[in-house]
Amino acid sequence: MPSLQPLAAAQAALVFGGLGSWNGVDFDETNRGRYQELSARLHQLLNQAIVVAANSSSTFRDANSGDGSQNQNRIRHGTFT
């Protein structure tokens, strides 16, 4: 199922937490800012991959949207309320 591919990739890339993990190291002042920037970006991308997997496999339907496609688009673009 294609919707599981982003979820599997996110799971394989989840390096935060535990001994010897990504965030279990420290850097000197020269590299610390870049490390923190990359950590934040990686965390953001992992979360986005999980959302994509959830949205692409969702069967959510709303009586006002017919086939649910309108809601799917709103969810994908972060405008679902």
Amino acid identity at 8: A
Domain extents in the chain:
4-76
Helix H or strand E encompassing 6: helix 4-13
| Dist CA 51 CA 60 (whole Å) | 14
- Residue 61 neighbours by CB distance under 10 Å: 13
pTM exceeds cut of 0.75: no
Digit-coded pLDDT (tens) for 21-80: 777 788 898 999 999 999 899 989 888 888 888 887 766 655 555 555 555 555 555 544
Burial 38-47 (b: 16+ CB within 10 A, else e): eeeeeeeebe
Amino acid identity at 70: Q
